[in-house]
Structure 1
Amino acid sequence: MHEEQSYPSYPIAELIRNRRTVRSFRSDPVSHELLMELLDIANWAPTHGSREPWRYILYRGAARSAFAEAVMGAMSAEEKEKYAEQRLYDYGRTPLHLIVVMKEDPRQKQWDEDYGAVCCWIQNFQLAAWERGIGVVWKTNTYIYAPAFREAAGVRAGEKVVGVLHIGYPETVPVPRVRTSAALRLDIRE
């Protein structure tokens, strides 16, 4: 029997400011129960008309090598020579790879609303994960557009890959970067 780990509770503003994009993960597994809890929390993202346009494809355990092979299948020979060894190592070590997709609506307004909703879903997931000590990096590399990757990964026709989330306990946590003050980007009209 293991002890229940306690996690700090953050006010939302502090959680938002303290979240970091993690690119280096320990190989410790993330429990299925915790993952399901985080997915269910993320499902509370705002969604127009309650469409919930998101779907996710999870790679864990031995399937991580299939994810790596799907990525490798979308790379050029030059990219493979330059990146393959490191990517295979990183993808094999990272506990979870979650491909987040959305149904593409042919109506532009609904497509825009759905894309915004899925982006909100991803941010909810990242914040809920961070609160539980889990790091996430949201990737939109060019392989997500490659037919070879899409087919190998199980992305269906009529779906857009909004991002690939690499998920795990942080090996290192990056230092915060300075953010531009909103006052410098605000265009006030009176």
Structure 2
Amino acid sequence: MSYAAKNEVEKSIIGRRSIKAFKTDPVDVEELIELLNVAKWAPNHKLTEPWRFQLYTSNGKEQFVQAYIDSQPKTDGEVPERVNRKADYFRNIPLHLVVIMPEDPRQRRWDEDYGAVSTMIQNFQLAAWKRGIGMIWRSNDWIYDPVFREGIGVKPGEKVVATLMIGYPKHIPEPQDRTDIRELLTIIDN
């Protein structure tokens, strides 16, 4: 069952798509900063603002790409062709934004921080989408690899929450069906 959006916020949420195919047109860094300044209004317990960002653009993308390549297993000392193809794909994406949070040893604080960062990322995605900028939120296995983490300068005690690949969409995918909430909702009324 689909839901008909009733206002602009609902239309934005339902209309946003994860983008995998990007145009090579550059995205203005100042516009990206504006969007992050909007996204920071996400709810976060005690206003801890538990996030920091690393933006890879232009020639700086090579550090991100090389960290990815270095983190991948080699075949007879050689970089596998699939890794080189993925690296070329990454090079052609206009921006890579790594979103990082501190890993607080207190579980409650860690959970609150992760929730706040995730909410901030969703705000960022929605605000960017309204300006015609698309992205995909990736949390691939290699973000946990010490070689990748060291290669991009993630410190011990920090978590990479997302690598956001950002640009103008070359292709906007069709929406995929979602489960009606009625199938996932238990109502307790006594």
- Calculate the TM-score normalised by the size of structure 1: 0.92
Aligned to 1:116: 115
Q: Measure, in 1, the Cα distance between the counterparts of 2:79 and 2:163.
A: 19
Q: Is the CA contact 1:57–1:154 (under 8 Å) kept in the aligned structure 2?
A: no
Q: Is the CA contact 1:22–1:135 (under 8 Å) kept in the aligned structure 2?
A: yes
Aligned to 2:128: 129
What do you get for the CA RMSD once the two structures are aligned?
A: 1.3
Aligned to 1:3: none
Q: Measure, in 2, the Cα distance between the counterparts of 1:96 and 1:50.
A: 28
Percent same amino acid among aligned pairs? 46
2:42 aligned with 1:45, yes or no? yes
Q: What secondary structure is seen at the aligned counterpart in 2 of 1:124?
A: helix
2:89 aligned with 1:90, yes or no? yes
Aligned to 2:17: 20
Q: Measure, in 2, the Cα distance between the counterparts of 1:80 and 1:49.
A: 46
Q: Is the CA contact 1:100–1:162 (under 8 Å) kept in the aligned structure 2?
A: yes
More deviation, 86-95/128-137: 86-95
**What number of residue pairs does the alignment pair up?**
181
2:168 aligned with 1:157, yes or no? no
Aligned to 1:57: 54
Q: Is the CA contact 1:65–1:91 (under 8 Å) kept in the aligned structure 2?
A: no
Q: Which residue among 67, 74, 77 is the counterpart of 2:71? A: 74
Amino acid across the alignment from 1:68: V
Q: Measure, in 2, the Cα distance between the counterparts of 1:109 and 1:92.
A: 38
Q: Measure, in 2, the Cα distance between the counterparts of 1:161 and 1:80.
A: 24
Residue-by-residue CA offset, 1:30-66 (whole Å, 9 max, x unaligned): 0122111111111111100000000011100011111
Amino acid across the alignment from 1:136: M
Q: What secondary structure is seen at the aligned counterpart in 1 of 2:80?
A: helix
Q: Measure, in 2, the Cα distance between the counterparts of 1:80 and 1:134.
A: 32
Aligned to 2:185: 186
The offset of 1:104, in angstroms, is 1.0
Q: Measure, in 1, the Cα distance between the counterparts of 2:166 and 2:172.
A: 13
Q: Measure, in 2, the Cα distance between the counterparts of 1:82 and 1:188.
A: 52
Structure 2 unaligned blocks of 5 or more: 1-6
Amino acid across the alignment from 2:140: N
Aligned to 2:174: 175
Q: What secondary structure is seen at the aligned counterpart in 1 of 2:155?
A: coil
Q: What secondary structure is seen at the aligned counterpart in 2 of 1:113?
A: helix
Q: Measure, in 1, the Cα distance between the counterparts of 2:112 and 2:151.
A: 28
Aligned to 2:101: 102
The offset of 1:85, in angstroms, is 2.3
The offset of 1:178, in angstroms, is 0.6
- Calculate the TM-score normalised by the size of structure 2: 0.92
Q: Measure, in 1, the Cα distance between the counterparts of 2:131 and 2:33.
A: 13
- 4+ residue segments displaced more than 2 Å: none
